[in-house]
């Protein structure tokens, strides 16, 4: 790394850097809280939307809930006794983040309606700009921009010709009433599987257009009673125990299965198959709902409501391919027009954009697009060679399909905080991972990925443009060990 110049880049013992947090979702709120607790108060949060919350702000579709238990999908330092269910609704999760941000004084630090379009590292600092010009000059950037953020719209002929109401599930139009309507849903991922049971009682008909069948794990979602919540309020140790035990249970079962533990995977496969066999009566429908790939190759869906819902008289599973969309509905390859009043695109997100479309320019003019032209890779998922003092939360190859996303962010942030504290103590003034260390890390990931379920033959949003899973192929214990303490021998430092 070349020597940086400029008074703004000089690190002095005891100096607090200026820090920018990009995004006010789960990870951005977490970062602000932990920075203040560590004595860093010179920071700003830039959020492109008009409210905090990230994916829980954007997604408001009927039936929305998290597929991680609520007492685990919570900040470890701010457990919540008021969760209504084992897997609580999205509105409760959004309210939780709003409440935490209020309690810890995060919201006044957020600048809303401000999208960072460009970040350039020059003279030893990051210069951040919006479309209106330069906005801030900072010593560190922490990108908390999330993963499930940018909706994917299907490339189907005539999509814009539909005469009814049409919207992506992540942009749900609540002004459109569904009562007595004919509703089409394109997609069969977690979102669609949640929507169908939630709307089946109101609609005249729901047509679910399936390209790929999904394995569904039968998991009930029981409510917490008032007695449960009273116990949580007065005995916080109970929630702490639940948080630890839920984490350990996932780490020892599902997280082991997806990285090659055949015994654990066999249990998942048997449960999914039994769920299908026991709950779908019609042989033809069962055939249509049976995937041709291994369970958990795609993100495993948790539901005990979908199979009953799709068998209701008001529901139809459409497996014929879509030929085009017309004013009156969806035309399938058999020539049939499925007449619709509302069309919902439950077609997911691009999980590989990360900070983009923000244009990043690192050291010596290196752009993010050039750095990622061959593959979207990072050092330990949190840093990039050639981009000093720039960090990501839930970056490439984070274990987004293995563990609770909040746990991931907390562990990654603790790692990043150690480096920022070293800067404060005068240990360096610029730091970035070494290219050779980054290469070794990603080569090890590619080798380990060969034993995982994600390469057994399916198409999923886990796969990058090269067909490689952007996931974590090792155990939770290894993730914690790798992120426990930075190895400064794997970084380039400017003192």
Q: Cα 283 to the chain's mean position, in Å?
A: 36
Q: Give the pairing type, strands 337-339 and 390-392.
A: unpaired
Q: Provide the CB-side half-sphere exposure for 11 (13 A, CA).
A: 25
Q: What fold, for 7-52+106-150+350-494?
A: FAD/NAD(P)-binding domain (3.50.50)
Domain extents in the chain: 7-52+106-150+350-494, 159-222+231-345
Angle between helix 26-37 and 405-424 (nearest 10): 40
The total of other beta-carbon atoms located within 10 Å of residue 130's CB is 17
Q: How many angstroms separate the CA atoms of 288 and 318, rounded?
A: 9
Q: At the top level of CATH, which class does the domain 159-222+231-345 belong to?
A: alpha beta
Model pLDDT, residue 15: 81
Q: Beta-strand (E) ranges in 116-266?
A: 118-122, 125-130, 133-138, 140-143, 165-168, 182-186, 205-209, 216-217
Looking up tokens 């954007």 gives 58
- pLDDT at residue number 406: 97
Residue 101 in tokens: 């941000």
Other C-beta atoms lying within 10 Å of the C-beta of residue 371? 18
CATH topology identical between 7-52+106-150+350-494 and 159-222+231-345: yes
pLDDT of residue 7: 30
Question: Who's near 275: CB < 8 A, 6+ residues apart?
Answer: 216, 217, 218, 304, 307
Q: What pTM value is reported for the model?
A: 0.95
Q: What is the pLDDT, as a whole number, of residue 401?
A: 84
| Helical H segments across 220-339, by residue range | 226-234, 236-252, 254-257, 262-279, 283-288, 306-310
Per-residue pLDDT tens listing for the chain (495 residues) = 433 333 333 334 578 899 999 999 999 999 999 999 999 999 999 999 999 999 999 999 999 999 999 999 999 999 999 999 999 999 999 999 999 999 999 999 999 999 999 999 999 999 999 999 999 999 999 999 999 899 999 999 999 999 999 999 999 999 999 999 999 999 999 999 999 999 999 999 999 999 999 999 999 999 999 999 999 999 999 999 999 999 999 999 999 999 999 999 999 999 999 999 999 999 999 999 999 999 999 999 999 999 999 999 999 999 999 999 999 999 999 999 999 999 999 999 999 999 999 999 999 999 999 999 999 999 999 999 999 999 999 999 999 988 999 999 999 999 999 999 999 999 999 999 999 999 999 999 999 999 999 999 999 999 999 999 999 999 999 999 999 999 999 999 998
Q: How far apart are CA 413 and CA 395, in angstroms?
A: 12
Three-state secondary structure call for residue 291: coil
CA dihedral 93, 98, 103, 105 (to 10 degrees): 140
Give CA–CA dist 392/491, Å, rounded. Answer: 16
For 44-102, the pLDDT digits (tens) are 999 999 999 999 999 999 999 999 999 999 999 999 999 999 999 999 999 999 999 99
Report the C-alpha gap between 199 and 312 in whole angstroms: 12
At 11 the pLDDT is 38
SS3 402: coil
């Amino acid at each position: 790394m070349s020597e940086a110049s400029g008074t703004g880049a000089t690190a002095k013992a005891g100096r607090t850097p200026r820090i920018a947090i990009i995004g006010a979702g789960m990870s951005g709120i977490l970062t602000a809280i932990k920075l203040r607790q560590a004595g860093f108060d010179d920071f700003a949060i830039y959020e492109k939307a008009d409210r905090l919350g990230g994916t829980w702000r954007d997604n408001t579709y009927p039936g929305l809930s998290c597929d991680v238990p609520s007492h685990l999908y919570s900040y470890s330092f701010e457990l919540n006794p008021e969760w209504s269910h084992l897997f609580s609704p999205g509105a409760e999760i959004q309210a939780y983040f709003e409440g935490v941000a209020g309690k810890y004084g995060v919201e006044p630090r957020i600048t809303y309606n401000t999208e960072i379009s460009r970040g350039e590292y020059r003279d030893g600092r990051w210069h951040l700009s919006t479309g209106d010009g330069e906005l801030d000059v900072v010593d560190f950037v922490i990108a908390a921009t999330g993963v499930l953020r940018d909706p994917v719209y299907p490339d189907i002929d005539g999509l814009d010709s539909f005469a009814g109401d049409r919207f992506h599930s992540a942009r749900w139009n609540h002004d459109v009433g569904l009562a007595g309507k004919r509703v089409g849903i394109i997609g069969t991922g977690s979102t669609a599987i949640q929507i169908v049971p939630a709307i089946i009682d109101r609609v005249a008909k729901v047509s679910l257009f399936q390209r790929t069948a999904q394995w569904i794990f039968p998991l009930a979602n029981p409510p917490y009673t008032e007695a449960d919540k009273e116990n949580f309020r007065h005995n916080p140790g109970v929630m702490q125990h639940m948080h630890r035990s839920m984490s350990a249970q996932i780490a020892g079962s599902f997280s082991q299965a997806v990285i090659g533990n055949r015994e654990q995977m066999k249990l998942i496969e048997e449960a999914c198959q039994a769920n299908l066999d026991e709950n779908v009566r019609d042989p033809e429908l069962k055939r249509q709902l049976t995937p041709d790939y291994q369970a958990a190759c795609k993100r495993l869906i948790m539901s005990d409501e979908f199979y009953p819902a799709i068998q209701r008289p008001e529901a139809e599973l459409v497996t014929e391919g879509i030929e085009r969309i017309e004013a009156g509905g969806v035309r399938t390859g058999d020539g049939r027009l499925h007449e619709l009043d509302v069309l919902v695109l439950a077609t997911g997100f691009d999980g590989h954009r990360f900070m983009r479309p923000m244009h990043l320019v690192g050291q010596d003019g290196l752009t993010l697009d050039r750095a990622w032209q061959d593959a979207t890779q990072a050092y330990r998922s949190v840093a990039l060679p050639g981009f000093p003092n720039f960090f990501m939360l839930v970056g490439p190859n984070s274990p987004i399909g293995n563990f609770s996303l909040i746990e991931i962010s907390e562990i990654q942030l603790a790692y990043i905080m150690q480096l920022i504290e070293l800067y404060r103590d005068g240990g360096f003034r610029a730091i970035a991972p070494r290219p050779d260390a980054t290469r070794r890390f990603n080569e090890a990931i590619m080798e380990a990925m060969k034993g995982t379920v994600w390469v057994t033959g399916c198409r999923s949003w886990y796969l990058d443009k090269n067909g490689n899973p952007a996931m974590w192929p090792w155990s939770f214990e290894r993730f914690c060990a790798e992120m426990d303490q930075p190895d400064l021998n794997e970084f380039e430092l400017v003192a």
